[in-house]
């Protein structure tokens, strides 16, 4: 397979300006480096009716194009089942009966690695597992990790080392966990470049380590700064007119929205995805978050328009 980048939204609602900005960056990174660009709908957890279709329409409207058919996670169950079976045969999967509260309490204990699973169920014997099963609580399935840290290379953050724990592969409701699905999808699709928000940088060492366990080569990462709302928190739909449809309804054109995103990337005067790609320089990307305010979305009209 040809090397590829990707954008992978969850169909839980319309994309906001921060999502569109990351999508344009993922597309530009891929196209600028001669890669294919793939789209994947990550619908294993939650999905709103019609959301995926609106997201794809918005991505096309701002000028991103993609190669091949859109990949839908919920249609890829066989891939996940086969990989889980292989890990089981290798003795790398165990049942975990812990509740979220129990995990949080253990993680807050002195000397615990922040956010890491403490291995409570890792070495249960048959009798202990039988007792927990008898309680009626279905188990999650976890990876038996062999390391407690892993280093990834990020185009923006450089070499980044983060903790690795016994991450969940399948939740206790039977749903394939995000980290497991993402790693398998990226590997199977030939994705060797992952561009996404820097709030996900901390998950990269876990995912990259899991890739090596599965015999896959971890991708190169580029975790880009987030878009913040007026209060300084991560941009959300509660912040007002933040989706493409909202902004167009308020008087902006699609070119205005692309231009606003380009301005936030220090690319003034750009109003199309093609123009953004022509001016794109990963080394010159801002290294700080962009704060989106109502003033940000006010169209700046050239004379005579």
Smallest Cα–Cα separation from 26: which of 4, 40, 6, 10? 6
> What is the CA 48 to chain-centroid distance, rounded?
18
pLDDT at 207 over 50: yes
Classify residue 10 by its DSSP letter: -
- 78: CB partners within 8 A, 6+ apart: none
> How large is the average pLDDT for residues 42-65?
94
pLDDT at 294 over 80: no
Contact yes or no for 66/99 (Cβ under 8 A): no
Smallest Cα–Cα separation from 259: which of 251, 270, 248, 250? 270
Burial class (CB in 10 A: 0-12, 13-18, 19+), 130: exposed
Confidence (pLDDT) at 46: 79
Angle at 180 between CA 73 and CA 193, to 5 degrees: 80
What pLDDT, in 10s, does the model give residues 77-116?
999 999 999 999 999 999 999 988 888 877 666 555 666 8
Confidence (pLDDT) at 99: 87
Identify the structural domains of the chain with CATH numbers, from first to last: 4-75+225-295 (3.40.50.620), 77-224 (3.40.50.620)
Map tokens 């509260």 to a residue: 101
**Residue 174 backbone class (left: φ over 0; alpha: ψ -120 to 50; beta: rest):** left
What pLDDT, in 10s, does the model give residues 130-183?
999 998 889 999 999 999 999 999 999 999 999 999 999 999 999 999 999 999
Classify residue 31 by its DSSP letter: H
**Residue 193 backbone class (left: φ over 0; alpha: ψ -120 to 50; beta: rest):** beta
What pLDDT, in 10s, does the model give residues 219-269?
999 999 999 999 999 999 889 889 999 999 999 999 999 999 999 999 999
Confidence (pLDDT) at 305: 31
The rounded distance, in Å, linking the Cα atoms of 168 and 176 is 9
pLDDT at 295 over 80: no
What pLDDT, in 10s, does the model give residues 54-85?
999 999 999 999 999 999 999 999 999 999 99
Confidence (pLDDT) at 108: 65
**Residue 264, beta-bridge partner list:** none
């Amino acid at each position: 397979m040809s090397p590829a980048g990707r954008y992978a939204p969850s169909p839980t609602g319309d994309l906001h300006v921060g999502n569109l900005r990351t999508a344009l960056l993922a597309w530009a990174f891929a196209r600028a480096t001669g890669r294919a660009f793939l789209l994947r709908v990550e619908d294993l957890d939650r999905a709103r009716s019609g959301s995926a279709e609106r997201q794809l329409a918005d991505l096309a409207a701002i000028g991103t194009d993609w190669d091949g058919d859109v990949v839908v996670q919920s249609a890829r169950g066989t891939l996940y089942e086969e990989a889980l079976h292989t890990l089981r045969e290798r003795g790398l999967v165990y049942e975990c009966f812990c509740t979220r509260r129990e995990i949080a309490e253990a993680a807050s204990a002195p000397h615990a690695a922040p956010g890491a699973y403490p291995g409570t169920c890792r070495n249960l014997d048959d009798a202990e597992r039988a007792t927990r099963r008898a309680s009626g609580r279905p188990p999650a399935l976890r990876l038996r990790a062999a390391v407690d840290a892993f280093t990834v290379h990020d185009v923006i953050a450089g070499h980044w080392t983060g903790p690795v724990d016994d991450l969940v592969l399948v939740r206790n409701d039977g749903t394939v966990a995000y980290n497991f699905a993402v790693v398998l999808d990226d590997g199977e699709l030939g994705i060797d470049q992952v561009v996404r928000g820097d709030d996900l940088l901390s998950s990269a060492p876990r995912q990259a380590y899991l890739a090596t366990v599965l015999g896959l080569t971890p991708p190169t990462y580029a975790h880009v700064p987030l878009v913040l709302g007026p209060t300084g928190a991560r941009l959300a739909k509660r912040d007002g007119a933040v989706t493409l449809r909202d902004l167009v309804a308020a008087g902006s054109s699609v070119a205005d929205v692309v231009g606003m995103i380009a301005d936030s990337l220090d690319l003034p005067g750009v109003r199309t995805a093609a123009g953004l790609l022509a001016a794109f320089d990963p080394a010159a990307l801002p290294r700080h978050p962009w704060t989106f305010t109502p003033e940000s979305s006010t169209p700046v009209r050239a004379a005579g328009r």
